[in-house]
Every structure is written in structure tokens, then in C-alpha cells.
Chains A and B, each alone.
Chain A
Amino acid sequence: NAGVTQTPKFRVLKTGQSMTLLCAQDMNHEYMYWYRQDPGMGLRLIHYSVGEGTTAKGEVPDGYNVSRLKKQNFLLGLESAAPSQTSVYFCASSNRDRAYEQYFGPGTRLTVT
């Protein structure tokens, strides 16, 4: 049982480049989330999804887009990367009935130069 997986684990981008981070979960969870974690800031919610085909903005959505075409996958896109997007990105999923218990992926460490 893999739980939540994220691809890639590390990436270095130049300013202005684009990329997509992939999150996959095999627990049949309805809810999925993308967070970023920066030193001294804690985890901040970027976007989330409460079901296939639905997405919503979180606390810090600017500069990111998401899609949830399949229940098990949640994609995070950066259209034009900026140095301020250097961060560790975590994906998480949860069951609708226990939404407070989120299962996190191992994270993607992104550096934008």
C-alpha cells in the first residue's frame, strides 16, 4: 500500500520555466490538498479538492493551478516559476468523514533560480 506518492522528489527550475507536480493516492480518499512549507511559516494551503473534477483555492493560490481529473490524482502546476516559489511542496489526502486526519506524501523540494 503506497499511500500518497509525489513526483518528482527534487527539481531545480529557472525563473519563468513551468512544471507540473504529480500527487497520487491509493486510499480512495475524496479530499486532496496541496501545501507549501517554508521556514518559520508552517504549512500553507495552496489549493484543495473535495472530489473528482472539483478544485478550490486555499490560502496562497497565486501563481499555481491545479487539476483533479481522476479521483486518485491531484496535479499542481506552476506556469511561470518565480524564486518566491522555492519551497517544499506537500500533497495530502483525507477521507471525507475524517478530514482532519490528512495523509501526506513525502514532499517535493523545488528550487527556482
Chain B
Amino acid sequence: RKEVEQDPGPFNVPEGATVAFNCTYSNSASQSFFWYRQDCRKEPKLLMSVYSSGNEDGRFTAQLNRASQYISLLIRDSKLSDSATYLCVVRAQGGKLIFGQGTELSVKP
């Protein structure tokens, strides 16, 4: 079983739609959690951290459920510029980051 698993997609949605990505992780000792964004053939960039209480950054909402070892990212009012691959990332003991394989999002006009 992979340490971090995501639905690879692709998710094809119209502009303005709400889309949710899910991620599960296998190591219950994982310390912290993040979402990175990767545009086509470019480098990944940190999108947001994920806190236990849930957190928002504009149109983006991240949630964590430690009991179920589950992380989610909700994007409201999708824009064309949101088209990218979203990487679920878990920080393991020792500090290393473990990346999921990514979920591809395509927002259409």
C-alpha cells in the first residue's frame, strides 16, 4: 500500500464548479499535512498547510481527519487558472515529505 494515496483523476469541471479532492495516508504517526500544486511540466509549489481544525485560504478549504487518516481539499468557484495537479503531502517522522501521486484537475470554460 502506498503511504499517501490520491485519486489520480482527471477531474474535468466547468468554471464556477466546486470540486473536492481526497487523500488517505497509511502512517498514523505522520506529523503534518500539506497540499502542493503542480502546473503541467513545472515544479511543485506549496499551496497550503492542513490543520486539524480545518483551514481556509480564499476559495480553498483544507480538512484533516486524523482518526480516519484522511485529508481533503475543496476548491469553490473554480477558475481556469486552477487547472493543475494537486499533490497531497504528508510529513513523516524525521521530517521527510511523502508525496501522493497527485490528482489532475482540468477546469473548462
Contacts and interface: CB of A to CB of B under 8 A. Distances in A.
B45 A104 contact: yes
Interface residues of A, number: 18
Interface stretch (B13-21, B58-66, B67-75, B94-102): B94-102
Given A40-B8, A42-B87, A100 B44 contact: no
A58 interface: yes
B91 interface: yes
B4 interface: yes
Contacts of A101: 46
A41 B43 contact: no
A43 B43 contact: no
B46 A106 contact: no
Nearest to B91: A100
A48 interface: yes
B43 A99 contact: no
- Among A35, A42, A100, A102, residue most surrounded by chain B Cβ atoms (within 10 Å): A42
Interface residues of B, number: 22
Given A42-B102, A100-B34, A100-B91, A48 B46 contact: no
B102 A45 contact: no
Nearest to B44: A104
Contacts of A100: 32, 34, 46, 49, 89, 91, 97
B42 interface: yes
Interface string B24-58: 00000000101000000111111001000000000
A42 B44 contact: no
Contacts of A34: none
A107 B43 contact: yes
Nearest to B46: A101
B38 to A, nearest CB: 9
